[in-house]
Structure 1
Amino acid sequence: MTIAADPLFGPSRFGRKPEHGRAPQPGIRLRKRLALLLIMAGVGGYLAGGFWRFTEEVDRLSRVVPASEADAIVVLTGGAMRIDYGLDLLRSGRGRRLLISGVHPGTSASTLARLTNTNKAWFDCCVDIDYVAADTIGNAEIAGRWAEKRGYRDLILVTSDYHMPRSLLEFDRLSGIRSITPVAVRRADLWNRDKLPTGSGLKLLLTEYGKLIATRMRGALGMAPQENEAVSTVASLDRD
């Protein structure tokens, strides 16, 4: 038996087949959009608050002065005045030896002595130079092996203020190190007189904050940094 299509509501009336599913109701779509907006607002607020705390930490670290001596001093190259700070600490007796990590291969100890107005004798007796490390992870790897080889457990770490939080994260993972004392070189061009970042300073701080988040996520996920060429060549630092 054939059943005729409804003359008012059947497919012959509208020229299409009946739909098998119902379209989402406007109220459901609205709730989904609101939930997405709330999530995005929450993430944005968290990141903005984290960045504000990051800038406060950078400002605070740049005012820390080591109150006691350490076994040795580690300077991470890449910013103005970092090596000068490290050499001043060495000359003042804050550490027995200094490692300058991440130096360009074409820069000799004599060149560094001349650029920093330092007697070459200091480099001959008490300074080691790492020409291999190309990033902060490599700096930490080199410094860790260097400290382990010489029996150093307490280090003073010298780098720029904006770079210090991420550097401390990498150095805190080193086994055998008992303490890391930060000495942050303040970048005056990053800050206004009211302690707020300048335009160029804001751009640099945002970039560094992104790197810091990536480093924290790597640590939270248990993703250990891959050992690189720096580790295999650390023995070359020992000139004894």
Structure 2
Amino acid sequence: MRSRHVRSRRVDRLGAAVVAMAALWCGGFLWFVDEVPQRVEDDSTHTDAIVVLTGGRDRLTTGLDLLEAGLSQRLFISGVYKGVDLAEIIQLGRGHDSLKQAVVLGYAADDTVGNAIETADWAKEQNLRSLRLVTGAYHMPRSLLEFRHALPGITLIAHPVFPDAVKSREWWRWPGTAALLATEYSKYLAAIIRHWFLPRKAQP
């Protein structure tokens, strides 16, 4: 009887812990969704370079449009697939042939951590002090976290892009968007934990 009672208490404690963790996750998730940008806060400040993280035509088009508008003289596109050349990138971006000399492609990154490291290496080579970061709005919180870790001291201006397929304003009505945000939030938490336990120099 005693052992059964002990097991029962352990099960109760485990259940309470699971419920508490789920409640914390849900509360954090609602905070995260609120942190996802709903608009571009700064669309006029000039920066040393514009950085686009690959992942959609809207990002490329936005980056090229910003370059053409004169918000910077350089555009770095991080995470380009091997074999994709500048002509293809320009074509995907609706054609900005006159901007070719200002565009640099980065092929080393496979994920957001890689984007930050690849960009940091390039920014150091170019002696840059400010960057305008272009990526999906849902991806912006984690991107800023990784870039601030990899590029301390460099001013970052967020320039979120809002894909039509991502319904972040009413995400609860769209299962695909809800799943995307939940996945992104979990990755964001993992990034926070990794930065807590790994010093900057230990990053890959």
TM-score over 0.5 (shorter chain):
yes
Q: Which residue of 2 aligns with 1:209?
A: 185
Aligned-partner residue type, residue 23 of structure 1: R
Q: Which residue of 2 aligns with 1:19?
A: none
Q: Which residue of 2 aligns with 1:56?
A: 34
Structure 1 residue 29: Cα displacement: 4.5
- Say whether residues 1:69 and 2:76 are aligned partners: no
What CA deviation, in whole Å up to 9, does each residue of 1:170-222 have, x standing for no partner? 10112454211111111232217645451111121122222111111101112
Aligned-partner residue type, residue 39 of structure 2: R
Asked whether the 8 Å contact 1:62–1:185 carries over to 2, the reply is no
Q: Distance in 1 between matches of 2:143 and 2:203?
A: 16
Asked whether the 8 Å contact 2:60–2:92 carries over to 1, the reply is no
What SS does structure 2 have at the residue aligned with 1:129? Answer: strand
Q: Distance in 1 between matches of 2:150 and 2:185?
A: 22
Instruction: Find 1:94's aligned residue among 51, 71, 84.
Output: 71
Aligned-partner residue type, residue 172 of structure 1: R
For residues 41-52 of structure 1, the aligned pairs below 5 Å read 41-52=19-30
Q: Distance in 2 between matches of 1:145 and 1:130?
A: 10
Instruction: Indicate how the Cα distance of structure 1 residues 180 and 42 shifts in structure 2: closer, same or farther if over 3 A, else same.
Output: same
* TM-score normalised by L of structure 1: 0.76
Instruction: Find 2:87's aligned residue among 87, 97, 110.
Output: 110
Q: What percent identity do the matched residue pairs reach?
A: 35
Q: Which residue of 1 aligns with 2:56?
A: 79
Instruction: Indicate how the Cα distance of structure 1 residues 196 and 93 shifts in structure 2: closer, same or farther if over 3 A, else same.
Output: farther
For residues 1-240 of structure 1, the aligned pairs below 5 Å read 23-24=2-3, 26=5, 28-58=6-36, 61-66=37-42, 67-124=44-101, 126-191=102-167, 194=170, 196=172, 198-222=174-198, 224=200, 226-227=203-204
- Bigger CA radius of gyration: 1
Q: Distance in 2 between matches of 1:99 and 1:48?
A: 36
Asked whether the 8 Å contact 1:148–1:176 carries over to 2, the reply is no
What SS does structure 2 have at the residue aligned with 1:128? Answer: strand
RMSD: 2.1
- Between stretches 88-97 and 64-73, larger displacement belongs to 64-73
Aligned-partner residue type, residue 134 of structure 1: D
Asked whether the 8 Å contact 1:153–1:176 carries over to 2, the reply is no
Gaps of 5+ in 2: none
Gaps of 5+ in 1: 1-21, 228-240
Aligned-partner residue type, residue 64 of structure 2: L
Q: Distance in 2 between matches of 1:90 and 1:206?
A: 33
* TM-score normalised by L of structure 2: 0.88
Q: Which residue of 2 aligns with 1:12?
A: none
Asked whether the 8 Å contact 1:81–1:185 carries over to 2, the reply is yes
